[in-house]
Structure 1
Amino acid sequence: METILHFFRTYPEMAIFLTIGIGFWIGQLKYKSFTLGTVTSVLLVGVLVGQMDIAIPGPIKSVFFLLFLFVIGYSVGPQFFQSLRSDGIHQVIFACVLCVLCLVVTVVIAKILGYNPGEAIGLFAGAQTISAVIGVGTDTINTLGASAADKQAWINIMPVCYAVTYIFGTIGSAYILGTLGPKLLGGIDKVRKETKELEEQLQKSSIGEDPAFVDANRPVVFRAYKVDTNWFDTPRSVSEIEGKMQSMGRRIFVDRVRIDGKIVEETPDLKIKKGDEIVLSGRRETVIQDESWVGEEINDPELLTFPVESIMVLLTKKTACGMTVEELRRQKFMHGILIKSIKRSGVEIPVLPGLKLQTGDLLQIMGMTREVSTAAPLLGYIDRPTNKTDLIFVGLGILIGGIVGALTLRLGGIPISLSTSGGALIAGLFFGWLRTKHPTFGRIPEPAVWILNNLGLNMFIAVIGITAGPTFLEGIKEAGFMLFVAGVLATSIPLLLGIWVGNKIFKFHPAINLGCNAGSRTTTAALGAIQESLDSTIPALGYTVTYAIGNTLLILWGVVIVLFMS
């Protein structure tokens, strides 16, 4: 045992990796629909590892936490600024209202129970499931004029309060929004019916319903047919064939042609006659329908072997931004192009003809290489797969944010600043938005965003847990059962009020209302519960704008809470 203690005390970085490894493993375990989640698991494992009384060098947790905050801002920045000047302003205002409710309710409960700044921050972080507040709160507490002993005691109690309140914060939010919310809005059957009606409304186009845009998760397929029906007694052009399918409400393209045994490049005027072979492309759910009016399907490796490109495009061009999907697909340059998926603030949203596209949306498009090469530059920046991260952009961005955050103003003798962590978040928002204007620099690939987001936060939480380990049990005794009750109230009251406000004041559609509440509280687990309950992805349309606003305000509330409670 002495050897083990000596090893981890000599090499504290090994204790962090031990905590991360076991914490992520436990976080993946699930019983029915219940799971602790990665952050809580890492914290609790850190507390156990911390019983070995391991000293962790200070800068480690700060470095990873700043990386986490910068990349969070980078991810939501485009949507954050776009929402401020788009028709999503009602969702922006709603998110601000709900975030203020979360702040006020938590502060009032903390004041009534006589909590210190550390206990209030821990309560807020757990009840609102916003782990990053712990870091912002820690930075702000360190700027106060209190004694070093008081500040350390407040910092040590934060993870205790977070751990006690986080479980209901997650499970309770999912239950309130996924199960109780639909009942409060008229009953689950009524809300499901209204959600389906909204889906149908968004799916409508001038040529009827377009199944090509119903489910962005279904793959695009290419199938070959031998032309041998009476409709082709008179040779038909490629544009006539595609027009006939369009008149049937199906967006399918002719992508390959073999005439008299020879493969030729298809053009709109190219004539197809009996005996020729063609390849049709489209969404699986459209192409597998009855094509007996064309002819028999054939399996022809030569005909089906040709280059098809699927790329991600960052939407930046004014000619495309603001269009609906239906309007975009009518553009001449979109011929042969299928939209596989759309991500907004990192969240995949349903691809429906009535959906309005926004600057910063990430579109996955697919088609013949020549067609993709024509369309992509007219949409925006081609975000080709790469494993390179612009670390100049990341490093200088965090530095600039940290400098701004470190600036301190004194009001009535009270030092007020964003702290370096708040500055990093604001810098991430700005630089994420800036990249949509100048997409040739500042690239952070999606896998890198994931690693910086998850590893950055959990490295920080691991250090918090290890550092707080020796005093954790004492903190549990000090906090008492009332802390759990306080967490239930701090989670439930803002969400219940939010559902009412969204319904009565903002007049949101029920599905959008629930999605807005989940986004404002940045609780992805609740969004999943809502979508499962309503059997629809429509709630995601209310999640993205409010998620960008909520992720920013809730984290910055860490500064406000410390100032209120001190």
Structure 2
Amino acid sequence: MVNFNRCNWAIKKSVIRSLSLLLLVVARSASAQTDATSPASGVVGQVFDSIKPITEAGLHGFFQLLGNQPIAFVLLALALGTLIGKVSFKTISLGSTAGTLLVGIAVSMIAEAMYGITYAIPSILSSFMLLLFMYALGLRVGPQFFSGLRKGGLAFVSIGLIVWSLNWVICYFGAKLVGLAPGYATGLISGSYTITAILGVGQGALASGAYTPPPGMTVAQVGANMAAAYAISYVLSTVGIILLIRYLPRIFGRNAVADAKLAEEEYSGGAVHPVPGAPHALAMGFSPFGVRAFAVTHKRFIGRTVSQLADDFPEAPILRVIRDGQIIDLNSDPTVQNNDIVTVRADVDDLILEEGELIGPESDDPLARNVPMEVADVHIGSHKLSGQSLSEFGQIMPGGVAIKALFRDGTELPLGPKTDVRFGDVLRLTGPDVALQRTAKQLGGHAILPTMKSEVLYLAIAMLVGYLVGIVTVTISGIPFALGTSAGVIMAGVGVSYFRSRNPNFGGPVHEGARSFLQDFGLNAFVAVLAANVGPKVISALGGDTILWLALIGVAGALIPPFVAFWVGVKVFGLNSIIADGSATGARNSTPGLNAIMEESGSSVAAVPYPVSYALTTVLALIGGYISMILS
């Protein structure tokens, strides 16, 4: 093998020195602030007294603080990583996930190399954060998941097989070609695939005696080789795959945002409204119906009750009656008098052209004009209504309630006069809150309004079920097979979203702000903890010329397979570039990569094929890791 010892040591020292600059300003600033601040009293003084020993120790003390307070480490990595991720060079940026990973690894490497401080944050924290991300992602893509399977199942499976087989060939035969010792190939597969469980499979082969080390090597040495190869390839492949997946469409001359919009239209079946339970499902949006107020002066209105006027003018129902500055209760079916102010809702054109002449002059009375409009999903629970057409319902129902969309089995149907309504359908209605509640009762259901409901109950139950399903393991010929907790939880999110799209009573709409927070924070916190624990292993592997071979083979095994699979998906199967990208990152088991393409495209549609290729290659990668250990 080529001897890179001198070059490698120089690189090592240069890397560590460069990374030290990342936090030098922070440490000096903290130390200077302590010197310049006089002792305080009370609670504030106690806080500074506890920080003083750390700041007096300078940079060393700062790294000790991060080691003693892992939460501080995670938050620092999140903050600096997000800032670095926003830095753009010629429209290319790392993104928050890759930035957090790099900062976390840099901090942990500096602490290990310069001060002998090894960070070890409990993995339960990172595991839980990852599961939160997967659940939130499942909520987002649930309604599209099954249609995605029908549209591109074969292509997604083929992409998964391409990525897995190429990765195995590159890592196993690459290690064999350059003469790497036993254990390195399995570690390379595990790290380049970012599947830690492959290390467990390899260790299982060693522990069971299925693989016996050659003379002169111990089981511990083979295990150390696996860990070193895993650490080096994991770090490089994680960063590399984020950048590759993020910019694959651009490399092939595609516009990620434009292609994502096309994919959303394709997988939505032409629907223009979010399905029930989905984020933004109950956003008001544009409505052709307007609200206007008029002072009653025409004889056709004076002396008639509100119910009589509703029968006479169904296209312009009365929402409110104002008399002498007071709101009249419509439930008493009041008689409209001269100079009353009535608020009506109708088509904008009709309101402008006709209603003023029909009722009287328009009024600017704020009490009459400020009628809040709501959006609600109502599940049809009355068999008597089944079979009626929308023309029988009317474009605007009593109370000013208008039909915005109709869903059947989670799929939006076109609104036409002959479109029939069936038991179990979901109507999306707009109108005043009181009128919506009244209409929902007539339809045999109740109005699901855009309120901030707690998601904790659904989150806990769904994640628990998904987690338990994911840990169910079947061992065949010494190889453990399991769906995996990540895949189990994302499918739980898909299931919750799927049922909500068919019956909004099952949890109602997901608040997009809360869902988006879980998705972003969960993934980046997971990456921060992972970086803290992997960094020291990278330092221990920085020796000899082996590291360069591990880096080269690991990066090749991580990036070449998804690149080839993406090309096959676009050119052979004719997939949309964002769908092909999502399938490729699923086949590579790269959750951070998925987040990167969602950020780049401004859409979550890339997550539609992700669980399919992810679940397939998770199983295949475990088998391949076991075989690579046996063949070593």
Q: Is the TM-score greater than 0.5?
A: yes
| Structure 2 residue aligned with 1:224 | 293
Q: Structure 2 counterpart of 1:223, which letter?
A: R
Structure 1 position 7, deviation (Å) = 0.9
Contact 2:198 2:625 in 1 (8 A): no
* Secondary structure of residue in 1 paired with 2:353: coil
CA contact (8 A) 1:409 1:415 kept: yes
Equivalent AA in structure 1 for residue 559 of structure 2: G
Partner residue of 2:573? Answer: 501
Q: CA deviation at 1:14?
A: 1.5
Is 1:478 aligned to 2:553, yes or no? no
Specify the alignment match of 2:102 in structure 1. 44
Give the corresponding residue for 1:142: 200
Helix, strand or coil: the match of 2:559?
helix
Residues 1-23 of structure 1: CA deviation (Å, up to 9, x unaligned): 11112111222221111112222
Q: Please give the secondary structure, in 1, of the residue aligned with 2:354.
A: coil
Q: Which amino acid aligns with 1:152?
A: A
> Contact (CA 8 Å) 2:135, 2:493: kept in 1 or not?
yes
Aligned to 2:562: 490
Q: Secondary structure at the match of 2:121?
A: coil
Q: Which has the higher mean CA deviation after the structures are superposed, 252-261 or 154-163?
A: 252-261
- 5+ long unaligned stretches in structure 1: 125-133, 204-212, 244-251, 504-512, 532-539
Equivalent position to 2:234, from 136, 142, 158: 158
Please name the residue that 2:435 is paired with. Answer: 371
Separation in structure 2 between the aligned mates of residue 264 and residue 312 of structure 1, nearest angstrom: 25
Q: How does 1:86-235 map to 2 (within 5 A)?
A: 88=147, 91-114=148-171, 116=185, 119=188, 134=194, 137-144=195-202, 145-146=204-205, 148-153=223-228, 155-156=230-231, 157-173=233-249, 176=252, 178-179=254-255, 217-218=285-286, 222-225=291-294
Asked if 1:66 corresponds to 2:66, the answer is no
CA separation in 1, counterparts of 2:90 and 2:379? Answer: 39
Deviation track 1:309-341 (CA, whole Å, cap 9, x = no partner) reads 535548686989999997897588687335779
Q: Distance in 2 between matches of 1:557 and 1:353?
A: 42
Larger CA deviation: 152-161 vs 433-442: 433-442
Deviations along 1:65-121, whole A, 9 cap, x unmatched?
Answer: 2333344445545654xx4xxxx4xx4233322322331221233234235566556
Note the C-alpha offset of 1:464.
1.6
Give the match for residue 10 of structure 1.
68
Structure 1 residues 262 and 68 mapped into 2: Cα distance closer, same or farther (>3 Å)? closer
Residue of structure 2 in register with 1:247 after alignment: none
Q: Determine the C-alpha separation between the residues in 2 that align with 1:330 and 1:519.
A: 43
Pick aligned residue for 2:526 from 460, 470, 480: 460
Partner of 2:374: 310
| Equivalent residue letter for 1:390 | V
Kept in 1, the 8 Å contact 2:378–2:440? The answer is no
SS in 2 for 1:44: helix
CA contact (8 A) 2:303 2:337 kept: yes
Which structure's CA Rg is the greater one?
2
SS in 2 for 1:416: strand
Instruction: Give the aligned residue type for 2:432.
Output: M
1:410 paired with 2:475, answer yes
Q: 1:486 to 1:151 in 2, by over 3 A?
A: closer
Query: 1:366 Cα shift?
Result: 3.4
Contact 2:189 2:557 in 1 (8 A): no
Cα pair distance change 1:14/1:316, threshold 3 Å: farther
Q: TM-score, normalised by structure 1?
A: 0.65
The amino acid of 1:410's aligned partner reads T
Percent of aligned pairs with the same amino acid:
21
Once the two structures are superposed, the pairs formed by residues 336-375 of structure 1 within 5 Å of their partners are: 336-338=400-402, 353=415, 365-375=429-439
Matched residue type, 1:163: V
Matched position secondary structure for 1:494: helix
**Structure 1 299/381 Cα, relative in aligned 2: closer, same or farther at 3 Å?**
closer
Match of 2:42 in 1: none
- Is 1:21–2:21 an aligned residue pair? no
Q: What are the superposed Cα offsets for residues 458-488 of structure 1, whole Å, 9 maximum, x if unpaired?
A: 2211112222234558578733399379736
Shift of residue 149, structure 1, vs aligned partner: 2.6
3-state DSSP class of the match of 1:113? helix
Q: Structure 2: 5+ residue runs without aligned partners?
A: 1-58, 113-118, 173-184, 206-221, 274-280, 587-593, 627-632
Give the corresponding residue for 1:536.
none
Whether the 8 Å contact between 1:177 and 1:526 is mirrored in structure 2 is no
Write the distance in 2 (CA, Å) between the matches of 1:102 and 1:18.
Answer: 37
Per the alignment, do residues 482 and 148 of structure 1 end up closer, same or farther by CA in structure 2, a change over 3 Å counting?
closer
Deviations 1:430-480 (A, max 9, x none): 555567679567997554433333222222111122222345585787333
Q: Distance in 2 between matches of 1:367 and 1:471?
A: 61
Counterpart position of 1:535: none
Counterpart for residue 249 of structure 1: none
TM-score by length of 2: 0.59
Distance in 2, Cα, partners of 1:58 & 1:223: 60
2:171 counterpart SS class: coil
**Greater mean deviation of Cα atoms: 98-107 or 23-32:** 23-32
Residue in structure 2 matched with residue 246 of structure 1 by the alignment: none
- Alpha-carbon distance in structure 1 between the residues aligned to 2:384 and 2:560: 45
- 1:292 is aligned, of 353, 364, 388, to 353
- How far is 1:292 from its partner? 3.4
Distance 1:68 1:61, change over 3 A: same
Count residues in correspondence.
491
State the AA in 1 paired with 2:555.
Answer: L
Q: Is the 8 A contact 1:92 1:549 kept in 2?
A: yes
Check the 8 A contact 2:78/2:524 in 1, yes or no. Answer: yes
CA distance in 2, matches of 1:519, 1:123: 18
Amino acid aligned to 1:94: K
Paired residue type of 1:450:
S
SS for the counterpart of 2:480 is strand
Question: Which whole-Å CA distance do the structure 2 matches of 1:361 and 1:140 have between them?
Answer: 46
Q: Give the aligned residue type for 2:134.
A: L
Does structure 1 conserve the Cα–Cα contact (< 8 Å) formed by 2:187 and 2:225? no
Find 1:557's aligned residue among 597, 612, 617: 617
Contact 2:406–2:413 under 8 Å retained in 1: yes
Bigger drift between 28-37 and 234-243 goes to 234-243
Q: Give the AA of the match of 2:451.
A: P
Choose 151-160 or 231-240, whichever is displaced more: 231-240
After TM superposition, the structure 1 = structure 2 runs for residues 214-293 of structure 1, keeping only pairs within 5 Å, are 217-218=285-286, 222-225=291-294, 237-238=309-310, 241=313, 243=315, 254-257=318-321, 277-281=341-345, 287=348, 291-293=352-354
Pair 41,398 (structure 1): closer, same or farther in 2 beyond 3 Å? same
User: Residues of 2 paired with 1:102 and 1:326: CA distance?
Assistant: 44
CA distance in 2, matches of 1:229, 1:31: 68
Change in CA separation of 1:179 and 1:450 when aligned onto 2, cut-off 3 Å = closer
Superposition RMSD in Å? 5.6
Work out whether residues 139 and 421 of structure 1, in 8 Å CA contact, stay in contact via their aligned partners in 2: no
Distance 1:47 1:526, change over 3 A: closer
